[in-house]
Chain A
Amino acid sequence: MKFLRKRIDKIKPHFEEGGRFYFLHSVFDGFETFLYVPDHVTKKGAHIRDAIDMKRTMIIVVAALAPAILFGIYNTGLQHFIATGQEQDFWPMIVYGLMKVIPLIAVSYIVGLGIEFAFAQIRKHEINEGFLVSGMLIPLIVPADTPLWMLALATAFAVIIGKEVFGGTGMNILNPALTARAFLFFAYPSWMSGDKVWVSGMMNGEGIIDGYSGATLLAQSAAGAGEFVNGLGEKIGHMEMFIGTIPGSVGETSVLAILIGAIILLVSGIGSWRIMLSTLVGGVLMGLLLNAFAVNPAMEVPWFEHLMIGGFAFGLVFMATDPVTAAQTNRGKYIYGFLIGFLAILIRVLNPAYPEGMMLAILLMNVFAPLIDHMVVQQNIKKRLKRSVSSVKS
């Protein structure tokens, strides 16, 4: 490690003011602070020292995503081999999954970071860490067979229109990863919805066995199927929904893997438990409400199954808790989370055109988050004004 430090110190002067590569100084700075805790100190004003900076925060979120990524790789292979009717061992599944998922991750990072670096150079900013997490989230919320150029385009759209036009990391109104997914969903619906996209290899029909159906559970629920079946027509149990061996986007199927991530986020204090809890409550409540007034099979889907299918768990843990786009006040977080859960199940069940409501619910509440915060703050001001006025009177 000492060797690395020495090398960095040796080339550092070239990137400082007056050096040969000064124009690349933000790139150098980005890499240096990625490897070592920076030696910059705040020059004026009061400040609190915290052991954790933004890069560590982001890396912890990526670590929390690791179980979902690993399971996604396995599940991509598993679903493919089930659909093609091949009996395979564990390792070929992993290899197949890796071949599908690694390019997605690579494209997302190369395009996104490329744009971030370019913007940092043009605007003479430091490079921000925000994309470390977004770049990992984007491949996890798309189907494994998404064409790479579409993913690249969506990533570019999300980073430029969703983030950089507002001023970069920390200024964005919408969650960049969900912006990318929404772009794909509306721009290329035939690659992002339907019965064929969720199982790798089905789009181009490579050796799919007769009668196999790749419909997700949400699609089945929207179509009004009484009970959930897998592609071969066998009933899917609750255990399979929980473990996640069902068709879906790469990283969102396994509630188990997402729960491990949630624990990492909660223990480290990076994800807000208020948002997670209130989103859960909102979803459960809406599920119960729809169950109570059920008139069709979609509304009869039990409330606890709603929590396990589709992207609800993934959105709850990794998307709703995004500290930039969520509400900032504590009471605001409860309202924000509750409405996400509530709306997600509402859209999911009552609007068959959008079988997955989680993405739309979170994006909608992202837009409303500043309003919620404003309301909470104003309410507090009013309350305290009242108190001071009444104490003056008495």
Chain B
Amino acid sequence: MLSGKHLKLLTDPINKNNPITVQVLGICSALAVTVKLEPAVVMSLSVIFVMSMSNVVISLLRNTIPKRIRIIVQLVVVAALVIIVDQFLKAYVFDVSKQLSVFVGLIITNCIIMGRLEAFALANSPGKSFLDGVGNGAGYGAILIIVAFFRELFGSGTIWNIQVIPQSFYDIGYANNGLMILPPMALVVVGIIIWVQRARNRELIEE
């Protein structure tokens, strides 16, 4: 269905050109919403939606936007999409929406989205831009979910709010790691992911 070149648009950002671990963009929200798995997944889906849709819209408009006001046009499009997502979350998953609070709104300022609009959507067809948006959103989401998985497992002993570390562990002296819940640990976990990724994929190592 997809040709090799198109497939690459989708899969490259997940590993070789990951927006978080390789381009080191969008770190702020990765720290903020990864305490638990559920908000991280919702956040990832929201970003995938906003990124792919805004990529398509900007790509369609790319020949009509005057160069000097393109950032404002991009912001208007992204903001409109973010408000749609925000209203949708408030209507259907109110609890998660409360947990994500301001960070849904802050998707507007997510560097990855602006970066992809500038670097890709302005120069490519809508179809390709859509794939690029989904790919980058998925690359962002993958890291978010990995980080949130470890932070929730070791910080709260749960996964998706279900207790997975049995009570017998706590009885013999195990304790949840409070540092995992604090934002600095998200940075350390992202750092470890970067370390593992570059150890496996040597061409990513900068000189």
Q: Give the 5 A-B residue pairs with the shortest CB-CB distance, closest first.
A: A187-B179, A186-B179, A187-B177, A187-B178, A147-B173
Interface size class of A (residues with CB under 8 A): 10 to 19
Interface residues of B in 144-203 (CB under 8 A from A): 173-175, 177-180, 182, 188, 191, 195
Residue ID in chain B nearest A189 by CB atoms:
B178
Choose among B173, B174, B178, B191 the residue that contacts A186 (Cβ–Cβ < 8 A).
B178
Given A149-B173, A161-B191, A165-B191, 12 new contacts (CB under 8 A): A147-B173, A149-B174, A161-B188, A165-B195, A183-B179, A186-B182, A187-B178, A187-B180, A188-B175, A188-B177, A188-B178, A191-B175
Closest to A188 in B: B175
- For A187, the closest partner residue in chain B by CB is B179
Q: Which residues of B contact A88 (CB under 8 A)?
A: none
CA distance A150 to B174 in the complex (A): 9
Shortest CB distance B55–A (Å)? 35
Q: For chain B, what secondary structure do more than half of its interface residues adopt (helix, strand, loop), or is it mixed?
A: helix
A380 within 8 A of B: no
A190→B180 CA distance, assembly (Å): 15
Complex: A187 Cα to B195 Cα, angstroms: 23
Across the interface, which residues of A come within 8 angstroms of B195, CB to CB? 165
Shortest CB-to-CB span from B197 to chain A, Å, is 14
Interface of A is mostly: helix
Interface set, chain A 153-177, CB cutoff 8 A to B: 161, 165
Identity of the chain A residue whose Cβ is nearest the Cβ of B154 in the assembled complex = A187
Count how many chain B residues have C-beta atoms less than 8 Å from C-beta atoms of the other chain: 11
User: B165: shortest Cβ distance to chain A, in Å?
Assistant: 14
Which residues from chain B contact A189 at a C-beta distance below 8 Å? 178
> B-facing mask of A177-206, CB < 8 A → 1, else 0?
000000100111111000000000000000
22 A-B pairs with C-beta separation under 8 A = A147-B173, A149-B173, A149-B174, A150-B175, A161-B188, A161-B191, A165-B191, A165-B195, A183-B179, A186-B178, A186-B179, A186-B182, A187-B177, A187-B178, A187-B179, A187-B180, A188-B175, A188-B177, A188-B178, A189-B178, A190-B175, A191-B175
Min CB distance A100 to B, Å, is: 16
Which residues of chain B come closer than 8 Å to A186, judged between CB atoms?
178-179, 182
Q: Which of A196-251 contact B (CB under 8 A)?
A: none
Among the interface residues B173, B179, B191, B195, which one has the most CB atoms of the partner chain A within 10 A?
B179
B179 surroundings in chain A (CB, below 8 A)? 183, 186-187
Q: What is the 8 Å Cβ interface bit string for chain B, positions 23-38, against chain A (1 contact, 0 not)?
A: 0000000000000000
Q: Which residues of A contact B173 (CB under 8 A)?
A: 147, 149
Residues of B within 8 A of A188 (CB): 175, 177-178
**Which residue of the partner chain B has the closest CB to A186?**
B179
Q: Which residues of B are found within 8 Å of A149, using beta-carbon distances?
A: 173-174
Q: How far is the CA of A190 from the CA of B178 in the complex (A)?
A: 10
Q: How far is the CB of B20 from chain A (nearest CB, A)?
A: 18
Smallest distance from the beta carbon of A149 to chain B beta carbons, Å? 7
Q: Give every chain A residue within 8 A of B182 (Cβ-Cβ).
A: 186
The listed residue with most B CB atoms (<10 A of its CB), out of A186, A187, A189, A190, is A187
Q: Give Cα A150 to B175, complex, Å.
A: 9
CA distance A161 to B182 in the complex (A): 16
Within 108-150 of A, Cβ neighbours of B (below 8 Å) are at 147, 149-150
Q: Chain B residues near A191: list those with CB within 8 A.
A: 175
Instruction: Give the shortest distance, in Å, between A186 (CB) and chain B (any CB).
Output: 4
